[in-house]
């Protein structure tokens, strides 16, 4: 008979049979779990961000120091080069003057006429001017090259900082993704572990109160004593489920509707009529 | 609160966004260093290219100066040695032809150097673009691989969670994963195997309990009233 009944059974869709108010328990506050998890997540993400930010700061400081050293070295090189050019200009002037004086003496000794002497002087003057012009052009080119090198050093620095920043962002994002997966694994594991103790706040956080309530319903049905003793259900519900009075409630009645408060003075009920659930019972 | 379907879609989107963020940033990190290296190489190449014209002009001037000097010397020799006008002219022509040949060769070398410099700059740009494209391709390949892994991880997570929730008589996750028919079948089997737990949990009515067990749902002498 029972076998036949099983074959023909039409089982109804699951229904919520215990309201949220009935399920209320001070020991299972989903907001506490939510707050704890969010704090845990934020602390973990904060640690990751701080670690990578700190590493980036060190890197950029080193790069900045490197740039300053390179620019200073370039400036020193430019200053030395300018000194060399100044010396070369002076030397050129001295050489020109010396050569000019030598030519004058030569002209005097050889008795060259005034015009020939002037032509020679003119040629020397032109030669000196050409040499000075070349020198100036070389100096300008050297200065332009120095400026270019400095611009390249700065550009390199900016590129390295950008690369360090981008590397920081990439490494940080990769670490945050790992952390995200770890946090989710932690959530799943803890939700399951807590459910084994009749606490479904983890599942509530993950999937909402409806899903958690269905699971808690099952847990209460299979563990009415535990559910009663931990304050998840009241004495009335205990009696509805088991057909018996709660362990600490006398047959004549008592304060069946008093929720157990685990945070009240007196702590957990130990069974018997003196338990926390029946205070003030009649 | 969102439905399970919305929760999963949100979870999938959230984790995929994290994966995408990682690979967008990986591409930026790979290419950030390339740009400054390219700019330095290009600046060097441009400087070298700019130096070509003055360098060859200097050589051309030297060549012209040498030619002029040789031409004057030849003239002077011709005058002092009393060479015939035709012979002097031949010498002048030979010198001029030699100069033009050398000048042409020099300008040819210059053109070659300019072409090489231009090719070098084009190559630098091509290499840079190829490195960018390579980084993009590498990133996209890794991103796709990671997105597949992420999808599979989410599916595995759902499977694990479905089993964990089913252990508490909640088959909604299986419903989400495999549909109503599968979930109902699993739930019905579970209820048939655990009628007392199902009744106590409020999953079935006393009528269903009686159908299943052929017994009244009597606990402690009273009908249980939870399922109403």
The answer, yes or no, to whether residue A27 has pLDDT greater than 70, is no
Which of B25, B40, B193, B214 is the best substitution to test chain A (most A C-beta atoms within 10 A)?
A: B25
Closest CA to A217 of A204, A205, A206, A257: A204
Model confidence at A112, pLDDT cuts 50, 70, 90, reads low
Asked if B35 reaches chain A (Cβ–Cβ under 8 Å), the answer is yes
Tell me what the mean pLDDT of segment A33-45 comes to: 90
Range with the poorest average pLDDT among A61-70, A93-102, B66-75, B114-123: A93-102
CB A17 within 8 A of CB B202: yes
Beta bridge mates, B218: B223
Which of B43, B163, B203, B205 is the best substitution to test chain A (most A C-beta atoms within 10 A)?
A: B203
Asked if B142 reaches chain A (Cβ–Cβ under 8 Å), the answer is no
Token pair for A151: 């611009």
pLDDT of residue A8: 44
Residues of chain A in contact with residue B220, where contact means CB-CB under 8 angstroms, are: 239, 242-244
Reduce the DSSP state of residue B72 to 3 states and report it. Answer: helix
Closest CA to B168 of A33, A223, A232: A223
pLDDT of residue A26: 40
Q: State whether B160 and B177 are in the same domain.
A: no
* Total-model pTM: 0.71
Closest CA to A105 of A93, A94, A91, A121: A121
Q: State whether B54 and B120 are in the same domain.
A: yes
Residues of chain A in contact with residue B15, where contact means CB-CB under 8 angstroms, are: 180-181
Query: How far B75 CA sits from the closest chain A CA (Å)?
Result: 22
A216 exposure class (CB count in 10 Å sphere: 0-12, 13-18, 19+) = buried
CB A234 within 8 A of CB A255: no
Q: State whether B42 and B111 are in the same domain.
A: yes
Q: State whether B200 and B155 are in the same domain.
A: no
Q: State whether B42 and B141 are in the same domain.
A: yes
CB B201 within 8 A of CB A217: yes
Tell me what the mean pLDDT of segment A29-39 comes to: 84
Query: How far B90 CA sits from the closest chain A CA (Å)?
Result: 31
Q: What is the DSSP string of B6-47?
A: HHHHHHHHHHHHHHHHHHHHHHHHHHHHHHHHHHHHHHHHHH
Query: Out of A2, A11, A209, whose CB is closest to B208?
Result: A11
Residues of chain B in contact with residue A188, where contact means CB-CB under 8 angstroms, are: 157, 160-161, 164
Dihedral, CA atoms, A264, A267, A273, A279, nearest 10 degrees?
-10
Length of chain A: 282
Closest CA to A215 of B13, B161, B131: B161
Query: How far A186 CA sits from the closest chain B CA (Å)?
Result: 12
Token pair for B154: 């989410």
Q: State whether B178 and B158 are in the same domain.
A: no
Q: State whether B63 and B27 are in the same domain.
A: yes
Q: State whether B160 and B176 are in the same domain.
A: no
pLDDT of residue A9: 45
Q: State whether B112 and B199 are in the same domain.
A: no
Asked if B149 reaches chain A (Cβ–Cβ under 8 Å), the answer is no
Token pair for B204: 């079935």
Per the structure, the complete domain to which residue B188 belongs is given by 172-227
Domain end among B166, B186, B208: B166
The answer, yes or no, to whether residue A146 has pLDDT greater than 60, is yes
Reduce the DSSP state of residue B82 to 3 states and report it. Answer: coil
Average predicted confidence (pLDDT) for chain B: 88
Which of B185, B187, B211, B219 is the best substitution to test chain A (most A C-beta atoms within 10 A)?
A: B211
The answer, yes or no, to whether residue B197 has pLDDT greater than 70, is yes
pLDDT of residue B225: 36
Q: State whether B50 and B29 are in the same domain.
A: yes
pLDDT of residue B194: 85
Model confidence at B121, pLDDT cuts 50, 70, 90, reads very high
The 10s digit of each residue's pLDDT in A217-262 is 888 888 888 888 888 888 888 888 887 888 776 544 444 433 333 3
**Chains A, B: CB pairs < 8 Å:** 175
The 10s digit of each residue's pLDDT in B181-195 is 999 999 899 888 888
Higher-scoring residue by pLDDT: B90, A282: B90
Residues of chain B in contact with residue A179, where contact means CB-CB under 8 angstroms, are: none
CB B31 within 8 A of CB B135: yes
Q: What is the DSSP string of chain A?
A: -HHHHHHH--PPPP---S-TTTT--TT--HHHHHHHHHHHHHHHHHHHHHHHHHHHHHHHHHHHHHHHHHHHHHHHHHHHHHHHHHHHHHHHHHHHHHHHHHHHHHHHHHT--HHHHHHHHHHHHHHHHHHHHHHHHHHHHHHHHHHHHHHHHHHHHHHHHHHHHHHHHHHHHHHHHHHHHHHHHHHHHHHHHHHTTT--HHHHHHH-HHHHHHHHHHHHHH-HHHHHHTTSS-HHHHHHHHSS--TTS-TT---TTPPP-TTSTT-S--SSTTSGGGTT--
> pLDDT over 70 for what percent of chain A?
75
What is the torsional sign of CA A216, A224, A279, B224?
positive
Residues of chain B in contact with residue A176, where contact means CB-CB under 8 angstroms, are: 18
Residues of chain A in contact with residue B228, where contact means CB-CB under 8 angstroms, are: 17
Model confidence at A172, pLDDT cuts 50, 70, 90, reads very high
Token pair for B227: 């399922």
End-to-end CA distance of chain B: 25
CB B214 within 8 A of CB A9: no
Query: What are the Cα distances from residue A51, in Å, to A41, A186, B204?
Result: 15, 22, 54
Query: ipTM, 2 decimals?
Result: 0.74
**Minimum Cα–Cα distance from B40: chain A residue:** A152
Domain end among B166, B182, B216: B166
Residues of chain B in contact with residue A218, where contact means CB-CB under 8 angstroms, are: 168-170, 197, 201, 203
pLDDT of residue A262: 34
Tell me what the mean pLDDT of segment A204-220 comes to: 88
CB distance A163–B169 less than 8 Å?
no
Q: State whether B118 and B66 are in the same domain.
A: yes
The answer, yes or no, to whether residue B223 has pLDDT greater than 70, is no
Tell me what the mean pLDDT of segment A191-206 comes to: 90
Tell me what the mean pLDDT of segment A261-270 comes to: 34
pLDDT of residue A179: 95
DSSP letter for B173, please.
Answer: H
CB distance B18–A177 less than 8 Å?
yes
Number of domains in chain B: 2
pLDDT of residue A250: 54
Model confidence at B18, pLDDT cuts 50, 70, 90, reads very high
Q: State whether B93 and B206 are in the same domain.
A: no
Query: What are the Cα distances from residue A186, in Å, to A103, A203, A262, B165, B167?
Result: 97, 12, 27, 16, 19
pLDDT of residue A28: 59
Domain end among B166, B185, B209: B166
């Amino acid at each position: 008979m029972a076998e036949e009944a099983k074959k023909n059974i039409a089982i109804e869709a699951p229904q919520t049979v215990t309201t949220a108010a009935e399920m209320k328990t001070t020991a299972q506050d989903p907001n506490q779990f939510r707050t704890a998890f969010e704090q845990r997540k934020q602390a973990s993400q904060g640690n990751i961000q701080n670690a990578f930010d700190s590493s980036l700061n060190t890197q950029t400081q080193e790069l900045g120091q490197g740039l300053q050293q390179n620019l200073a070295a370039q400036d020193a090189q430019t200053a030395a080069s300018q000194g060399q050019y100044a010396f070369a200009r002076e030397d050129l002037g001295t050489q020109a003057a010396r050569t000019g004086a030598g030519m004058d003496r030569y002209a005097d000794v050889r008795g060259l006429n005034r015009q020939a002497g002037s032509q020679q002087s003119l040629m020397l003057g032109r030669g000196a001017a050409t040499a000075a012009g070349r020198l100036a052009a070389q100096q300008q080119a050297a200065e332009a090259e120095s400026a270019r090198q400095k611009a390249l050093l700065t550009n390199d620095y900016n590129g390295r900082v950008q690369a360090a920043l981008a590397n920081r962002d990439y490494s940080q994002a990769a670490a945050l993704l790992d952390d995200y997966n770890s946090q989710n694994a932690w959530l799943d594991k803890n939700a399951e572990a807590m459910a084994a103790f009749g606490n479904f706040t983890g599942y509530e956080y993950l999937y909402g109160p409806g899903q958690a309530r269905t699971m808690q319903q099952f847990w209460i049905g299979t563990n009415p004593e535990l559910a009663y003793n931990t304050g998840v259900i009241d004495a009335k519900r205990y009696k509805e489920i088991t057909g018996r009075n709660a362990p600490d409630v006398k047959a004549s009645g008592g304060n069946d509707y008093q929720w157990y408060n685990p945070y009240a003075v007196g702590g957990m009920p130990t069974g018997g009529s003196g338990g926390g659930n029946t205070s003030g019972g009649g | 609160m969102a439905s399970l379907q919305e929760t999963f879609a949100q979870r999938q989107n959230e984790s995929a966004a994290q994966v995408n963020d990682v690979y967008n940033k990986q591409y930026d990190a790979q290419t950030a260093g390339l740009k400054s290296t390219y700019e330095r190489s290009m600046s060097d190449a441009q400087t070298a290219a700019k130096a070509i014209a003055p360098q060859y002009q200097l050589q051309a001037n030297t060549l012209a100066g040498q030619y002029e000097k040789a031409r004057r010397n030849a003239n002077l020799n011709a005058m002092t040695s009393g060479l015939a006008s035709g012979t002097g002219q031949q010498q002048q022509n030979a010198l001029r032809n030699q100069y033009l040949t050398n000048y042409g060769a020099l300008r040819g070398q210059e053109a070659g150097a300019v072409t090489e410099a231009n090719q070098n700059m084009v190559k630098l740009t091509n290499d840079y673009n190829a490195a960018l494209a390579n980084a993009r391709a590498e990133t996209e390949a890794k991103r796709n691989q990671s997105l597949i892994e992420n999808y599979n991880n989410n599916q595995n997570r759902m499977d694990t969670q479905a089993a964990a929730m089913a252990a508490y008589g909640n088959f909604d996750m299986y419903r989400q994963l495999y549909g109503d028919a599968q979930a109902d079948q699993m739930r019905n089997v579970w209820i048939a195997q655990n009628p007392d737990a199902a009744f106590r949990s409020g999953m079935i009515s006393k009528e269903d309990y009686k159908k299943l067990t052929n017994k009244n749902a009597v606990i402690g002498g009273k009908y249980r009233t939870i399922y109403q």
